[in-house]
Structure 1
Amino acid sequence: MTSLLCPVKVTRNEVFCHTNCLMNCASSAEGNIVMSSHSVTSRTLVQIVEELESEEEEVIKFACRDITSTTNVRELLTELNERNSHLVILELLYLLKRLDLIKKYYNMSKVEVERQLKRQSKVISDYRYIMIELSEQVEERELDSLMFLLKNYLRNGAKLKNKTFLSLIVELEKNQLVTPNNLEILENMFQTIHRVDLNKRIVKFQQKENAVCVGGPYVNALPASASSFARMTSSMNPQLTISTMKEATPVQETLIQIADHEERYPVRRDHRGFCVIIDCVGNDADMLTALFNSLHFEVMCQLYKRVDEVKDILQDVAHMEQLRHHDIFACVIISRGNADSLFCLDGDLPGLSLDRIRSTFTGQSCPNLRGKPKLFFIQNYLVSDTEEENGVEVDGPKDCAASRPQIQNYSQIPNEADIFWSHCRVNELELQKSSGSPSLYLRSLRDLLDEKKSRKDLLDIHTELSRIIYAKKSGASLQLKHTLTKKLFLHPA
């Protein structure tokens, strides 16, 4: 008995559709394998790094400053890969516009990458994106101009290890002069070099951010990126996300920190300043040298000099090239004198004019100190025949007026910013009363500046100094004149 088989008729269109379906499924499966992979092999990372240019490596390190403190690119990518943060590597390659590497190692097109990154919150901050974009548009001659304008804010003057815009931004970040919420200095610099287009980019970015601050100032890997990294790791380690966000600085506190920092002179911990001490009396040099050494100043100390010698010393210091590497200049002079001059060892007129001391270190006479605070502390022991018998010191308490010498006012400080002039005058007889003892003014100044826990700015310290001097009723007259434009803290935060 023969069975009859009825063949099923399949049309050509049905075969075509079935084949396409299988191909699409295979393609989709392959795509899922690529995107579901949480990491790439170490060999692949090595291959990616080998294909990067040095400029691209710098961009990667800059972009990841908020994510990791690692500065070696291979180690950096390995660290991200071990965190199962393969999307960060993908985002970095997209940021570099290295679509060839994305295609080669991830088998993804530009559209697919953009779609994937759109679904996943960006880890690299918008601030870093815009800085990288600006770096691509700043020409070399414009970079030279920016470095010249900002040299007083850089730790090594205008010298950078890598002469690039991003390395300049890193230096400004280290001094906390540039943060995601404070780009005013760049805005002004671009305006100065006539790059109005870049100035407008920064203004637009700041308006978009609307002064929203997340975390603290950017120095290496800081909590500023905590929320970004929390988004990246939330699916892998929820507990890490919670602890990281707890460590982030509150928005209100951060805004206060940044607002306060904007008013400060930049002061580094090392090579903080240069100090010249000229003691023509011989009581205070060792104490002052120890003080300024403890404040990380480089100190030059000179004893028992005549007027001409002091003039030469001050001129030589004003022309020292190394001043450009220091943030602060301090000059302390202890001498006998009158209301307008110091006699040094000469003992009589004309002496060394106080105006001459100040003018030696103006921005015009000493360009290496331009824009930097210049501090003068003068202890003047007034010889008896130069005292004035009338006139009241207006900045001292009334109950002390009768107990101290009354001195006529001296000439005004130059019409130039960044000068701090503290002048203590007391009768020469004080030297005979306490021979070999440091002056009350300088001893009290030492104690206040050495009080590291106080963290007061210099003007507040001088207010306290005035209170101490006048409370002692020692006959001393203390006068302050300054043109500081910012707060000055000799102990950096």
Structure 2
Amino acid sequence: MSVPRITSRALIQIGEELESDEEEVIKYACKDISSKTNMLELLTEVNEGNPQPVILELLYLVKRFDLIKKHYKMTKAEVERLLTKQFRVISDYRSLIIELNEQVEESELEALVFLLKYDLRNSGMLKKNKTFLSLMVDLEKHVLLATRIDLLENVFETIHRVDLQKKVLKFQQKDNVNCGGPYVNAHPAAATTLTYRIRSSTSSSMGPQIAGCSNKGTTPVQETLQQIGDHDERYLVRKGNMGFCVIIDCIGNDAEMLRALFRSLHFVVHCHLYKRVEEVEDILQGIANMEQHKNHDIFACFVVSRGNTDSLFCLDGNLPGLSLDRIKNIFTGQSCPNLRGKPKLFFIQNYFVCDIEESHEGSFVEVDCPGEDAASCQRSENTLKIPNEADIFWSHCRVDEMELQRSSGSPSLYLRSLRDLLSEKETRKHRDLLDIHTELNRIIYTKQAGYSLQLRHTLTKKLFLYPV
């Protein structure tokens, strides 16, 4: 079943007809894919940067079947059949929280705040929470909920909402994770502390508490995953939304291929085509400021553009362009603290403009063209600066821009080969990213197609694009 394309006018109409509580639900549902607070801007961003039915999925979440019928000409049953076949943009975790939000009564919300009052007071949040969703947002923000979704199981049992407790248990079993949730921050709080406070503070007045995960003789999921990661010297990569990927394609040949690949790897993907330098910098800065990164384990950035030695021209086509250092620096631990300690992957396809020469005091002029001598190759390599922050993987491929005329409309050999390698489940499971890149080197240089591939990285552990 084809889904009608939503127009800008339709988005405006949808935004105007949503109620305030429905807007709250949509903003919460989109926290992993957008940082916009204005509803129209949010709807526009998620509509452009994600699969086509995403607006349909959001309207289904808030049960606005009247708007679905008006703008999509579909019945509730037709939407449900479609969504069972489509890749869902909104995570199962957020869908669960939204479902719980619909069933928590106002009086029960007061009980939940009471159970959490110690931590809420210390976080300065006690008087701000007026809805279940806002309570969940604050708990996630202060890493009180994100490390242990079984916390919800405990509090629902305490307030005698066994039906909601069962929903949480079912979610845990579905995700095949014992006693933990899909979201774990880079610097999590102690997982057992808050749960213990709830049980001990309520045991005298509310009777025996459910044993929960701590009585099953198992280690909390966050500690377990950390032990696995430390033992194997692996970065933590969990099932579900493994990471966030941004694709900026100023040529137009690779975006759809990369989008399909990273969606299949359960990344949240934002895709942007044909942008100018100023627009690209704004996009990257906006993504770096997103709080959602704390919920993901990996950040990946693809930029495809014409350029020179140390800059990309995007659609501007001339100097000064966007500095490669600037791209990296936007996502350093200092600039983007929510990515601190997490692998940040950059894949740059630079179609080198040979007839533009650049002169900078104290630097070299690089001409990356077929036939260059060994000295100029060494000089070119030296001008590519090594990342000075930990956990950065920088893969930079250059080829003469004439390649675009020789293979008009075709994907980059570099990105196509990377796609082929990452599409193989067994490869991702048994070979870390550095090994995969070594194989990518072999493919590129065996082809002898004029591509020059350079890798600089400061990874501190092995990275497998496969969940633990």
TM-score, scaled relative to structure 1: 0.48
RMSD: 4.7
* 2:409 partner letter: G
Name 1:412's counterpart in structure 2: 385
Residue 324 of structure 1 deviates from its aligned partner by 1.3
1:440 equivalenced with 2:413 (yes/no) = yes
State the distance in 2 between where 1:400 and 1:444 align. 27
Name 2:437's counterpart in structure 1: 462
After TM superposition, list the pairs within 5 Å mapping 1:186-335 onto structure 2. 261-335=231-305
Name 1:367's counterpart in structure 2: 337
Number of corresponding residues: 278
Q: Deviations over 1:348-394 (max 9, x none)?
A: 0000000110010111111111111110000000002247999899x
Q: Deviations over 1:39-67 (max 9, x none)?
A: xxxxxxxxxxxxxxxxxxxxxxxxxxxxx
Structure 1 unaligned spans of 5+: 1-138, 145-150, 176-184, 191-217, 225-256
Structure 2 unaligned spans of 5+: 1-117, 124-139, 155-175, 182-186, 192-212, 220-226, 359-363
State the distance in 1 between where 2:409 and 2:214 align. 47
Counterpart secondary structure, 2:435: helix
Q: 1:413 to 1:403 in 2, by over 3 A?
A: closer
1:162 equivalenced with 2:151 (yes/no) = yes
Residue 321 of structure 1 deviates from its aligned partner by 1.5
**Contact kept in structure 1, 2:311 and 2:322, CA below 8 Å:** yes
**Contact kept in structure 1, 2:258 and 2:419, CA below 8 Å:** yes
* 1:430 partner letter: E
State the distance in 2 between where 1:352 and 1:490 align. 29
Q: 1:140 to 1:156 in 2, by over 3 A?
A: closer
Q: 1:346 to 1:219 in 2, by over 3 A?
A: farther
1:424 equivalenced with 2:374 (yes/no) = no
State the distance in 1 between where 2:291 and 2:246 align. 15
Counterpart secondary structure, 1:480: strand
1:481 equivalenced with 2:456 (yes/no) = yes
Residue 161 of structure 1 deviates from its aligned partner by 4.8
**Contact kept in structure 1, 2:348 and 2:395, CA below 8 Å:** yes
**Contact kept in structure 1, 2:229 and 2:236, CA below 8 Å:** no
State the distance in 1 between where 2:375 and 2:255 align. 31
State the distance in 2 between where 1:472 and 1:403 align. 22
Residue 140 of structure 1 deviates from its aligned partner by 7.4
- Greater RCO (Cα-Cα under 8 Å, separation 6 or more): 2
**Contact kept in structure 2, 1:420 and 1:483, CA below 8 Å:** yes
Residue 412 of structure 1 deviates from its aligned partner by 2.3
Q: 1:298 to 1:391 in 2, by over 3 A?
A: closer
Q: 1:420 to 1:336 in 2, by over 3 A?
A: same
After TM superposition, list the pairs within 5 Å mapping 1:9-408 onto structure 2. 157=146, 160-162=149-151, 261-386=231-356, 407-408=380-381
**Contact kept in structure 2, 1:355 and 1:413, CA below 8 Å:** no
TM-score, scaled relative to structure 2: 0.50
Residue 415 of structure 1 deviates from its aligned partner by 2.3
State the distance in 1 between where 2:144 and 2:449 align. 42
* 1:313 partner letter: I
Q: Deviations over 1:324-359 (max 9, x none)?
A: 111110000000000100000000000000011001
Residue 407 of structure 1 deviates from its aligned partner by 3.0
